[in-house]
């Protein structure tokens, strides 16, 4: 990763880890749970080769960023990332978000529409925009749903995963990936095995009620910038597009075949093949 530059930005006395590649129009890349900036490495290389500056940031609580005690609702996280982009010298930028990064990306575009020029979202549904996941389903249908409630429970997840953080993270990747050999599982297992990492990850889920409240207000004003929603065949499929229908004036969707949830690693060429034309096209 010799072409990547690592830096830290301080926001409210907390460090945010930022990794950049290339030069040109800035593109903010927001990873989801349980990954870090490293999930974007293939996308960053492609963006840099096409004349963009790729900026992958570990959101608060993840990767090498600090783990504050609060600020995990998507409004707070989005404001932190926007301030980080301003600190890096970027008043306007494109945004690409995966998983919880999709939640934060939507909040960022809605709360700071003057800053976000294009928005690409992948592999999630957004609390407050999509119906709540059902509970009474067959075990095989629950593989993408159970963690929403488990991660929100106070204290119990930390107790049950203490000393077994790596096993918990590996289970997630075992069940959610279709091409597991393409995913840097041990990088993320190591990251989330460090003290406080799972607690901070759980905090995004424990903030879901506040995120829902915010998104019900955001949904009253459709996004004006171009929006691309990408799903994976063996994960969310068309759910990202369905989530954003009626929430963006200029919306298009895509589905990547032969792919699980970790789309930027499992099928990077296909994902990049949708992303680059979207970033390059003129608004409708």
19: CB partners within 8 A, 6+ apart: 4, 5, 6, 7, 37, 44, 55, 56, 57
- Nearest to 167, CA basis, from 143, 190, 145: 190
CATH number for the domain that contains residue 206: 3.40.50.1820
| pLDDT number for residue 145 | 84
| pLDDT number for residue 139 | 81
| pLDDT number for residue 99 | 98
**Integer angstrom CA distances of residue 21 from 4, 86, 121, 229:** 5, 17, 20, 24
Instruction: Determine the longest span between alpha carbons in the chain, in angstroms.
Output: 52
Expressed in angstroms, the distance from the first to the final Cα of the chain is 36
| pLDDT number for residue 198 | 97
Q: What is the pTM of this model?
A: 0.97
Query: Edge-to-edge, what's the strand order for the sheet holding 116-122?
Result: 5-11, 14-21, 52-57, 25-30, 93-98, 116-122, 223-232, 248-256
| pLDDT number for residue 224 | 97
Element (H, E) at 263: helix 263-266
Range of the domain at 50: 5-280
Task: Using 50 as the pLDDT threshold, list the residues of the chain that sit under it.
Answer: none
State the total domains in the chain: 1
229: CB partners within 8 A, 6+ apart: 120, 121, 122, 240, 241, 243, 244, 251, 252, 253, 254
């Amino acid at each position: 990763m010799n072409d990547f530059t690592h830096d830290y930005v301080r926001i409210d006395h907390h460090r945010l880890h930022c990794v950049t590649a290339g030069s040109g129009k800035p593109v903010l890349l927001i990873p989801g749970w349980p990954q870090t900036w490293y999930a974007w490495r293939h996308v960053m290389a492609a963006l840099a080769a096409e004349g963009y500056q790729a900026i992958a940031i570990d959101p608060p609580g993840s990767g090498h960023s600090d783990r504050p005690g609060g600020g995990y609702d998507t409004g707070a996280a989005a404001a932190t990332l926007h301030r980080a982009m301003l600190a890096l010298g970027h008043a306007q930028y494109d945004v690409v978000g995966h998983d919880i990064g999709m939640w934060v990306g939507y909040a960022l575009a809605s709360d700071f529409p003057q800053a976000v020029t294009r928005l690409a979202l992948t592999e999630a549904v957004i609390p407050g925009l999509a119906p709540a996941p059902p509970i009474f389903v067959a075990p095989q249908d629950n593989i993408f749903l159970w963690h929403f409630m488990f991660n929100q429970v106070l204290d119990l997840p930390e107790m049950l995963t203490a000393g077994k953080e790596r096993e918990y993270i590996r289970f997630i990747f075992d069940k959610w990936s279709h091409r597991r050999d393409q995913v840097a599982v041990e990088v993320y297992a190591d990251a989330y095995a460090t003290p406080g990492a799972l607690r901070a990850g759980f905090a995004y889920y424990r903030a879901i009620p506040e995120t829902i409240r915010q998104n019900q207000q955001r949904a009253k004003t459709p996004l004006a910038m171009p929006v691309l929603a990408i799903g994976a065949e063996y994960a969310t499929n068309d759910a990202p597009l369905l989530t954003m229908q009626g929430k963006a004036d200029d919306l298009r969707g895509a589905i990547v075949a032969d792919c699980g949830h970790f789309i930027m690693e499992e099928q990077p060429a296909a994902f990049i093949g949708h992303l680059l034309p979207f970033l390059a096209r003129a608004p409708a």
